[in-house]
Structures are given as C-alpha cells and as structure tokens.
C-alpha cells in the first residue's frame, strides 16, 4: 500500500493569500467551485458603455435638463403672449385716438331747429290765411281769420309786443279759424299774425294786426 501523498508544501507561516469579496468590483454573487475558489455567476452591473435594466429611465442629470428646458420654453411662451397683448392694446388706443381726432375735427354742430320766426320770410306753399282780425279784451285778445285750404292745413299763431320780434305762441288744428291769447298786459300794445302750414318748410303768412291802446281807452 503506497504511502499517502503529503500534499503541497505549506507556505510561510502566517502568509495567506486571500481576496476580499468586495474586491470583485463589477460582479454580482459568486459560486464556490469544486476546488474551493469562488467564481462570479455573472455581472450584476453593466460594463462600461453597456446598458442596464434601468436604462429606460433618464438619469437625474438628464431629467433636470429636460425639466429646465421645458420651464424655459414655457416662460418664453408666456413672455411672447404678454408682449403680443401689450402691442395689441397700444395699437387699439392709437386707432381710437386717431378716430376721435378725425371725427371731432370733421363733425359739425347740428343746426338749431325751432319754429320759424314771424319776421322771417317763409317759403310760400299756398294762399295765406285771410281777413285776420282781433278783439281786444284788455288782458285777453281773440284772433279770427279765414281758411284758404278748406280745413286741409293747420295754422300757427305768432305774436309779441309791438315793435319787437314776433314768436310762435300756439298751433291751431286744421279747420279752426280763431284763437284767444290770455295773460296779456292791459297797458302794452301787441301785434299778431297767422301762418298756414303747408309742409315742414312751406308756409303762407297772413297780414299783421296790432292793438292800439291808449290810457283811459275802452277795450275794443
């Protein structure tokens, strides 16, 4: 029976070659082989330049850059909108100012409208009222006349103090040929005339009648 193999000579006492498990950088779990040595089962982390399971997610740096770029683009968009709104408002204010200046310069004040004065010469539109007469009752005066239109046109009675401009005092309906003026001064003379109104700009004026009051005279 052969003697047992003494085995490999032992090394220097106290000298032992060992590799710490943490020295296997870049490798995952290890498996002990038949000879007692540990071999890595496979890379637990990707090699330099490779891709791992988390490559579908951006790195913190990439995520920060993307967020910053989005915020910068949104900020530029808001600034452009504000600028556009301000420019539009300025243009609108300028247009309104120009329109006000143009219309204010070109617009003319409307002509004053009112009843025609008795002293003015109206456009003749037909025969005037005839046979105008008055009856003086001191504080009241009654006027009478004839209708040349046979009840087709209305009339206007104009009157005032003698020597002054006459003004329209009343409008009389068509077919009516008399009118009484009340509230007069018994010591002042008055004059009257009657206008036949054929249209808005065509009149026919009768003659003029006036009172002839004297102190102590009886009313006529």
CB 219 within 8 A of CB 137: yes
Reported confidence tier of residue 58, pLDDT bands at 50, 70, 90:
low
CB 143 within 8 A of CB 192: yes
Structure tokens at 38: 């540990």
pLDDT at position 23 is 44
Q: What is the pLDDT of residues 16-30, one digit of tens each?
A: 544 445 444 444 455
pLDDT at position 67 is 60
Reported confidence tier of residue 93, pLDDT bands at 50, 70, 90:
low
**Which pTM value belongs to this model?**
0.43
- Picking from 167, 134, 168, 138, the residue whose alpha carbon sits closest to that of residue 154 is 168
Reported confidence tier of residue 126, pLDDT bands at 50, 70, 90:
confident
Average pLDDT rounded to a whole number, residues 139-155? 93
Distance of CA 211 to the CA centre of its chain: 61
Give the contacts of 117 (CB within 8 A, at least 6 positions apart): 158, 165, 166, 167
Whether residue 138 has pLDDT greater than 60 = yes
167 CB neighbour count, 10 Å cutoff: 14
Residue 140 phi/psi, 5-degree rounding, is -130, 150
Structure tokens at 183: 């509230």
88 vs 160 pLDDT, higher one: 160
- Picking from 119, 126, 114, 112, the residue whose alpha carbon sits closest to that of residue 197 is 126
77 vs 181 pLDDT, higher one: 181
């Amino acid at each position: 029976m052969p003697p047992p193999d003494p085995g490999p000579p032992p090394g220097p006492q106290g000298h032992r070659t060992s590799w710490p498990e943490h020295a296997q950088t870049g490798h995952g779990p290890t498996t002990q082989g038949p000879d007692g040595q540990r071999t890595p089962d496979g890379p637990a982390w990707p090699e330099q330049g490779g891709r791992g399971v988390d490559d579908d997610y951006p790195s913190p740096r990439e995520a920060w850059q993307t967020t910053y770029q989005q915020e910068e683009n949104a900020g530029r968009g808001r600034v452009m909108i504000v600028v556009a709104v301000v420019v539009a408002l300025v243009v609108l204010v300028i247009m309104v100012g120009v329109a006000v200046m143009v219309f204010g310069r070109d617009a003319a004040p409307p002509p004053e409208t009112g009843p025609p004065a008795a002293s003015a010469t109206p456009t003749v539109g037909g025969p005037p009222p005839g046979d105008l007469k008055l009856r003086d009752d001191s504080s009241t005066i009654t006027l009478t006349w004839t209708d040349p239109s046979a009840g087709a046109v209305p009339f206007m009675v104009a009157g005032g103090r003698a020597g002054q401009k006459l003004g329209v005092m009343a409008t009389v309906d068509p077919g009516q040929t008399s009118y009484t003026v009340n509230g007069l001064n018994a010591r002042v003379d008055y004059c009257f005339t009657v206008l036949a109104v054929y249209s808005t700009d065509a009149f026919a004026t009768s003659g003029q009648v006036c009172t002839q009051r004297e102190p102590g005279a009886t009313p006529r």
